[in-house]
Amino acid sequence: MDAVSRNPGIDLLRGLAIVLVVFNHLGIRIPLEKSALADVLPTWLLNRLNWNGYEAVYVFFVISGFLIAGNVLRRWGSLAAIDARAFYARRFARIVPCLLALLAVLSALHLLGVQDYMIHRAGQSLPGALLSALGLHLNWYEGRTGYLPGNWDVLWSLSIEEAFYLGFPLACLLLRRRVLLVPPLVLLALSLPWARAALHGNEIWLEKAYLPGMAAIATGVLGALLADACRPPRRTVVMLGWLGALGLGAVLLDGGALWHWLRDGYMLVLTGSALCLLLCFRWRADEGAVPRLRGFAWLRSWGRMSYEIYLTHMFVVFAVIRAYRAWDGNPAHGWLWYLPALVLCWLLGNAVERLLSVPCERWLRGRLKGVASLGRTSAQPG
């Protein structure tokens, strides 16, 4: 979720994913199904609006793999020609400024004893949390010691994503030929349900282990290779888009039914559907035919700022929850707090993008050898 896209379809998909993440973190504390909306909307729909945050992160993983690999192919012509030093420099410039700023703020709030931000579980400490976040193993740290406070917890997905990208250029340079690179990626992508099934018993590690997340990223990488290798007829592309939309809708609206029939295999429906949509958006964009749906510019802007919003949205969630409880704490009125929360998340993400993320990224790229002449990528945390 830390790559940059200017494909409106991809931005729309990322926007949907980050909104679902925010709805999830609000819903844990203010469930929509207990609000007055339950009098006018089906309970199952309100429930699904609140409980698709985990699936949304896996959509992010697929998108990130697709965009990162696609950028490599456009920039260097092939995965084997990747400039690892430039690749790492670009990742550093994009990710590290916001990450360091977040960790500094969280450390200060912990040291000041601010409620909602204090690390207090047995076996956890501020140095341990900092080391795990910077060492890309916060997911493992939580699996071993328990959940960290919400603003720290969101970094579990970054640990998976960036651990994958540390090894990605090395794999490209070692294997070099697609015929050697594709089979391991296919095996990794298809391992998703079995990797999850093997992890049942540890709730946190089941959600946040490396292998399932990397399987979703590998799905995106394979999609980028496919998009680069062929361009099917327009009718096939449109059918692929509808197939992806239907599959994604089935998972998001009735994941329980899919779980009943497929168990952990429902995650392959999720990643495969996301990939179908990405391929459709990419091939339609190559034809100059990606529609900008009227009325959804706001959602595309969420997709553009998904990394910044993802890292900072819990500040808004905690503030809104405090205000909600201080106001009256009536669950029936809980739905009224969602719109202000969304507006504030967007405003905070936009401020971070304009004042920190973009200026720091440009400054760093101007000083890191090998990337001085490269602008911010048009194809994309991520």
- Band of pLDDT at residue 295, cut at 50, 70 and 90: confident
pLDDT at 380: 37
* pLDDT band (50, 70, 90) for residue 289: confident
Q: Is the pLDDT of residue 267 over 80?
A: yes
Determine, yes or no, domain membership for 357: yes
pLDDT bucket at 372, cuts 50 / 70 / 90: very low
> Is 2 within a domain?
no
Whether 260 has a pLDDT exceeding 90, the answer reads no
Q: Is residue 372 part of a domain?
A: no
Mean pLDDT value across residues 225-242: 95
Give the domain range for residue 240. 8-367
In a domain, 3, yes or no: no
Position 294 confidence tier, pLDDT thresholds 50, 70, 90: confident
Check residue 286 and give its pLDDT.
Answer: 87
107 vs 201, higher pLDDT: 107
Residue 52 lies in a domain: yes
According to the model, what pLDDT value does residue 248 have?
97
For residue 382, pLDDT beyond 60:
no
Q: Specify if 120 maps to a domain.
A: yes
pLDDT at 373 over 60: no
Question: Given this model, what pLDDT does residue 375 score?
Answer: 40
**Least confident range of 100-109, 137-146, 196-205:** 196-205
pLDDT mean over 234-259: 93
Q: Which of 310, 248, 235 is nearest to 275 (CA)?
A: 248
Between residues 371 and 56, the one the model is more confident about: 56
Mean pLDDT across the stretch 148-167? Answer: 96
Give the phi and the psi of residue 242 in degrees, each rounded to 5.
-65, -40
Across the chain, mean pLDDT equals 92
pLDDT of residue 368 exceeding 90: no
Packing angle of the helix pair 234-262, 53-76 (nearest 10 deg): 140
Q: Which pLDDT band holds residue 38 (cuts at 50, 70, 90)?
A: very high
Given a cut of 70, whether residue 196 has pLDDT beyond it is yes
Average pLDDT rounded to a whole number, residues 4-23: 92
- pLDDT surpassing 70 at residue 378: no
Residue 377 lies in a domain: no
Residue 2 has pLDDT above 70, yes or no: no
pLDDT at site 252:
94
Per-residue pLDDT band at 377 (split at 50, 70, 90): very low
Claim: this prediction has a pTM higher than 0.85: yes
Question: Is 381 domain-assigned?
Answer: no
Q: Average of pLDDT values for 181-187? A: 96
Q: What is the pLDDT of residue 374?
A: 46
Q: State the average pLDDT over residues 28-43.
A: 96
Quick check: 365 and 374 in contact, CB under 8 A?
Answer: yes
What is the percent of the chain with per-residue pLDDT over 70, rounded to a whole number? 94
**What was the pLDDT predicted at 1?**
61
In total, how many domains does the chain have? 1
